[in-house]
Structure 1
Amino acid sequence: MADIDDRWHRTGPDGTKHRTDRYGQGARWLLRWRDPDGKQRKKSFRRKADAEAYAATVEHGIRSGSYIDPNAGKILVDEWAKKWLDAQAHLAASTYARYETAVNTHILPKWGNVYLSSVKHADVQQWVSSLASSLSGTSVAKVHRVFSLMLGWAVRDGRLARNPAEDIRLPRPSPSEHRYLDHAQVAKLADRCGSYGLIVRFLAYTGLRWGELAALTVGRVDLKRRRVHVAESVTEVNGELVWGTPKTHERRSVPLPRFLVEELASRVNGRPSDALLFTAPQGGVLRVRNFRRAVFDAAVREVGPKGFHPHELRHTAASLAIASGADVKLVQQMLGHKTATMTLDLYGHLFPDRLNEIADRMDSAVRAPNVPQE
């Protein structure tokens, strides 16, 4: 049980009260308790009501197993951020790099010299709102997510009773507008890319991410079955190439149109299975920055659309597949999305509107000769 002591003492023959400042200026009430480890704890308060309220919290925490050491949160966010980042070795290198950038660029300048226990919900809300003046809604959400993950880790470590970054109102992200090329535009852009045109057509008709294309080996291209087996990805992080699994960590099989099979034959037949299908001019991994600088961006400036980048060929692949009659599950499998919901969130507007078709079928069923009419 927690004990509350009055820290006023009678010191004179006339009964005058004298306050000690041993535990802090103006503090009168002293709360003592033993934590779950049996260690003696104490905390002083100005008002008895505050001491009683805190005592109730302590006793409830001890009984329920949710007790938090008052000193556990006395660690600077700067130090905690370093501990948290060190524990994120399980992340993909590109994801880790994004988290590290968010920490160093946005979180530490604001919170680095603040104790974990001093981070308040209202202050986090004000900070998030201020970020919106210089960052897009999507970027603000990403920075907030990193901070919330970091504080959530502190909750699980017993340093905070709750996460002060939860239930924060985020700025509404601006909807991203995807651009899609049609078959004629793909052909025109590929033609302007010269010997690299096959890469443009490959991305536009398979939907592979750039890192998946760059890591694709000859042995994972099955021309007879017209399939590409996506099992690996390579990403450039701070100038270094990092190899790993695809974004969803799952392998998938992607279909090849027959015209691509014909074009790929010379790159596959007679080559070692571990050779890269597409390489840089001097050999080795083809990097997207070099590809854009050497070929792609110049072709885009000539034929458009303005600012078009290689990843938008993945969106193009989705639109062309949907236009050809592919259902959402097939598009999901081709693109390697984790769920069909993700596919619908991104490309649901491209699927044909079949509501009238359904209504017409029900109308026909009702009007059939064997359906009694009122």
Structure 2
Amino acid sequence: MSNISKTPAGTYRANWREPSGRLRAKTFKTKKEAARFLADLDSTLSRGTYVDPHAGRTTFRQHAERWLASRNDEATTKARDASIMRNHVLPQWGDWQIGKIDHSAVQEWVSTLGAAKAPATVAQCHRITSAVMRAAVRNRVLAANPCDGVRLPRNRRRDTADQIITREQLRESLLPELPRRYRGIVATAGGAGLRWGEAAGLCWDAVDLDRRRISIIRTVVEVSGRTTFKPYPKSAASQRTVPIPAWLAPILAEHRAWYEPGERGLVFGNSVGKPLRRTLFRSRVWRPALVRAGLLGKLTQVADDRYRAEWPDGEGGSAEAEVGSEREAIALIVRSAAGGLRFHDLRHSYATWLVDDGVPVNMVQRVMGHEKSSTTLDLYTRRTDDHGRILEALADDDEPTG
């Protein structure tokens, strides 16, 4: 039962009992202020929405650390969110009392962050901050989440997003420029639509070259430079069987003849049989191969001992420099070029090829391992520029199309 008592100092103390039974008190200058406070508090108690008036003094950092420690997520998800929290969120909100963070402060932060960071990064920062605040609401530390209703910057697609490579570019330009050891994993990603972790964790017990099919039953995850096997793929739908194209089968057979199986029968292990690390593969194998294949920047020999390297600078322009060897020129483009085809774009390309060839979306959905067909259509089927098919569909029956 709440009540008001006068203190020896002449102020008024509002007294109440929390749902836990604990007695609490708060002092006001006037009896009217104390009565108004208790009226609001009694209302929240009766509705079951009580929030401790003193709880908001907890710093954001204290609550965020509890939130991170209590989560039951995959190791990769934990590592990603901890990185966002450490690098972007805590530098802003760490020392704030959580009860003093209001909607306007969050909106101002998001707008300022949007001027310096990509929209996707801003969205991730907001997501983490909002999750901590949402947990504070559930824990009765806050009455409402100040992140609700915050407007985020638009994630406008650029011409470098979800790039598509043609089958001819993959097989005739890119694969020949890859070192023999790594040719198979790129061919498998492009020819079977595997994610990086699925390809890096592929073992020979899941490959049937006679029946030409691959079973996706495990994956490899990389956290802080360490790789570990996970005995199941991304989702239930991700556990699937995909066909091996006729052109891919001999590449896999040749790879098996050249390289001993790695750890657990790993197909595409590194030189010591361990799973490949994505970060190292990208910088040492993938991007140099793109340069040599003419898919990233431009490499020109201008003299016997001089090479010109040209690359996109990310601002719509380009840059160039001359160096003394082809190796230096490739390394310069790899380090400096913005954008470029990603390994995951092989998966985008695979789905696009299937849809462009008229494979029903529900079948594409199954081999891609998607829970919903809308994911297949919205995220992975960026149609190629084959306008001939559109013109053919629009032509009259008696009108020639070519």
Q: 2:327 maps to what in 1?
A: none
Q: 2:273 maps to what in 1?
A: 283
Q: Give TM-score scaled by structure 2 length.
A: 0.76
**Matching residue within 135, 157, 172 for 2:117:** 135
Q: 1:12 maps to what in 2?
A: none
**Matching residue within 163, 176, 180 for 1:191:** 176
Whether the 8 Å contact between 2:352 and 2:382 is mirrored in structure 1 is no
- Distance verdict in 2 for CA 1:115–1:66, change over 3 Å: same
**Matching residue within 172, 179, 202 for 1:216:** 202
Deviation track 1:98-153 (CA, whole Å, cap 9, x = no partner) reads: 11111111111111112222221221111111111211111100011011111111
Q: Percent identity?
A: 33
Shift of residue 304, structure 1, vs aligned partner: 3.3
Letter in 2 for 1:34: R
Whether the 8 Å contact between 2:164 and 2:382 is mirrored in structure 1 is no
Taking the aligned partners of 2:105 and 2:369, their CA distance within structure 1 comes to 39
CA RMSD of the aligned region, Å?
3.1
The answer on 1:81 being equivalent to 2:64 is: yes
Q: Give TM-score scaled by structure 1 length.
A: 0.81
Letter in 2 for 1:2: S
Structure 1 residues not aligned, in runs of 5+: 10-18, 21-27, 361-374
Letter in 2 for 1:3: N
Shift of residue 357, structure 1, vs aligned partner: 11
Taking the aligned partners of 2:175 and 2:262, their CA distance within structure 1 comes to 27
Q: What is the count of residue pairs matched by the alignment?
A: 343
**Matching residue within 20, 23, 26 for 1:43:** 26
The answer on 1:339 being equivalent to 2:372 is: yes
- Distance verdict in 2 for CA 1:235–1:171, change over 3 Å: same
- Distance verdict in 2 for CA 1:36–1:128, change over 3 Å: same
**Matching residue within 161, 165, 173 for 1:181:** 165
Taking the aligned partners of 1:321 and 1:125, their CA distance within structure 2 comes to 43
Whether the 8 Å contact between 1:141 and 1:170 is mirrored in structure 2 is yes
Structure 2 residues not aligned, in runs of 5+: 297-339, 396-402
Taking the aligned partners of 2:263 and 2:129, their CA distance within structure 1 comes to 44
Shift of residue 268, structure 1, vs aligned partner: 5.7
- Distance verdict in 2 for CA 1:218–1:120, change over 3 Å: same
Whether the 8 Å contact between 1:193 and 1:295 is mirrored in structure 2 is yes
Shift of residue 242, structure 1, vs aligned partner: 3.1
Shift of residue 300, structure 1, vs aligned partner: 0.7
Shift of residue 29, structure 1, vs aligned partner: 4.5
Taking the aligned partners of 1:130 and 1:301, their CA distance within structure 2 comes to 36
The answer on 1:207 being equivalent to 2:174 is: no
Q: 1:235 maps to what in 2?
A: 221
Q: 2:153 maps to what in 1?
A: 171
The answer on 1:328 being equivalent to 2:361 is: yes
Whether the 8 Å contact between 2:263 and 2:274 is mirrored in structure 1 is no
Q: Radius of gyration: which is bigger?
A: 1
Deviation track 1:177-218 (CA, whole Å, cap 9, x = no partner) reads: 221111110111011114132322211111111111111110
